[in-house]
């Protein structure tokens, strides 16, 4: 009832059959004709169609989610996945004992993430430079993929540690996405390895800056202020209004403005401008987006309006800033 179709990504299933098994043959021309005729679809869309058809079967008394799990288990997921995993684990344990292999101690990992959480950049550097008897686990037989996978783990652990240290979750997630995409673009193991370290150091510095700000103000951040900042970082690409932020976090606009100024020593409107300017600086340095594109993306009324606000904060025009700080080598490498 559904098909023929082809998936946009490779999918393995239990019921695959070869041409020999069905006594069929295929030439290059006939395959090209089939490929152009058969529609391509996303795997999840295919599952959704199956679920829709299943609703016509009144004997099915289970939820759509449960039925989806059954479809995947019966057709696409290995029935003996757990046994296969345990068998692989047994082989790895045996081989590692034979080779006197030991993993990097858990204590080392704990100290590393704790340094990020505390914003202790000096201790983090010492931990990164430490030599230990163990080794990291094998996540891939390909050296480049191994370092990319390790880097993704480092970025993930560091982002969560930074959130515990006070960094806005949205900021942490955006930064995580950026570094993971950078890792995926790496073409050699050494670059991938140091990209992970760079992310770790970046998170630690951000936490350190936050703690210095809070120490200077002599108080911990108010929960309402934290929610306010989360909303701002989630909506930096929009035209942010105090009344919209207040409504989103359940406060009266004037009260939120006064609370923010009292706790942060800066008006909420200026904080929004500063956050947008930081992102503009990043885009001017690491992208070739035009000024009008950046202004539009960040919700400014016009390019000139963005320029005025940028100049007030940095003392430079966007053009002068880009001329001074844009990383041409970075742009060429990552295009």
Averaged over successive runs of 10 residues, the pLDDT of the chain (335 residues) comes to: 74 67 78 81 79 64 68 62 54 50 62 89 85 62 90 93 87 88 89 91 90 66 82 84 92 93 90 90 83 89 93 94 76 48
- At 327 the pLDDT is 67
User: Considering Cα of 69, then 73, then 77, then 79, what sign does the dihedral take?
Assistant: positive
Q: Are 108 and 132 in contact (CB under 8 A)?
A: yes
* Token couple for 123: 């201790």
- At 333 the pLDDT is 47
Quick one: CATH architecture of 227-335? Orthogonal Bundle (1.10)
- At 153 the pLDDT is 92
- At 110 the pLDDT is 82
Q: Where are the domains of the chain?
A: 5-72, 103-220, 227-335
């Amino acid at each position: 009832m559904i098909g023929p179709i082809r998936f946009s990504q490779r999918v393995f299933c239990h019921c695959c059959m070869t041409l020999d098994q069905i006594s069929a043959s295929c030439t290059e021309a006939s395959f090209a004709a089939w490929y152009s005729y058969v529609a391509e679809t996303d795997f999840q869309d295919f599952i959704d169609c199956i679920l829709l058809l299943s609703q016509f079967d009144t004997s099915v008394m289970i939820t759509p989610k449960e039925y989806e799990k059954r479809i995947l288990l019966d057709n696409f997921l290995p029935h003996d996945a757990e046994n296969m995993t345990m068998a692989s684990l047994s082989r790895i344990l045996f081989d590692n004992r034979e080779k006197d292999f030991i993993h990097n101690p858990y204590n080392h990992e704990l100290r590393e993430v704790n340094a990020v959480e505390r914003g202790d950049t000096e201790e983090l550097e010492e931990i990164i430079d430490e030599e230990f008897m163990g080794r990291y686990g094998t996540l891939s037989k390909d050296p480049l993929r191994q370092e990319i996978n390790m880097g993704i783990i480092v970025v993930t652990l560091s982002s969560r540690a930074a959130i515990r240290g006070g960094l806005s979750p949205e900021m942490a997630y955006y930064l995580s996405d950026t570094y993971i995409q950078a890792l995926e673009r790496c073409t050699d193991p050494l670059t991938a390895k140091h990209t992970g370290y760079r992310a770790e150091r970046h998170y630690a510095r951000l936490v350190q800056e936050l703690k210095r700000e809070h120490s200077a103000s002599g108080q911990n951040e108010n929960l309402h202020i934290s929610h306010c900042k989360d909303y701002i970082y989630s909506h930096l690409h929009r035209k942010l209004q105090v009344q919209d932020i207040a409504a989103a976090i359940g406060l009266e606009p004037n009260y939120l403005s006064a609370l923010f100024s009292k706790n942060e020593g800066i008006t909420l409107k200026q904080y929004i401008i500063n956050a947008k300017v930081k992102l503009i600086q990043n885009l001017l340095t690491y992208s070739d987006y035009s000024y009008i594109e950046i202004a539009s993306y960040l919700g400014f009324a016009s390019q000139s309006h963005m320029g005025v606000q940028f100049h007030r904060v940095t003392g430079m025009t966007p053009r002068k800033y880009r001329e001074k700080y844009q990383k041409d080598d970075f742009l060429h490498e990552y295009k």
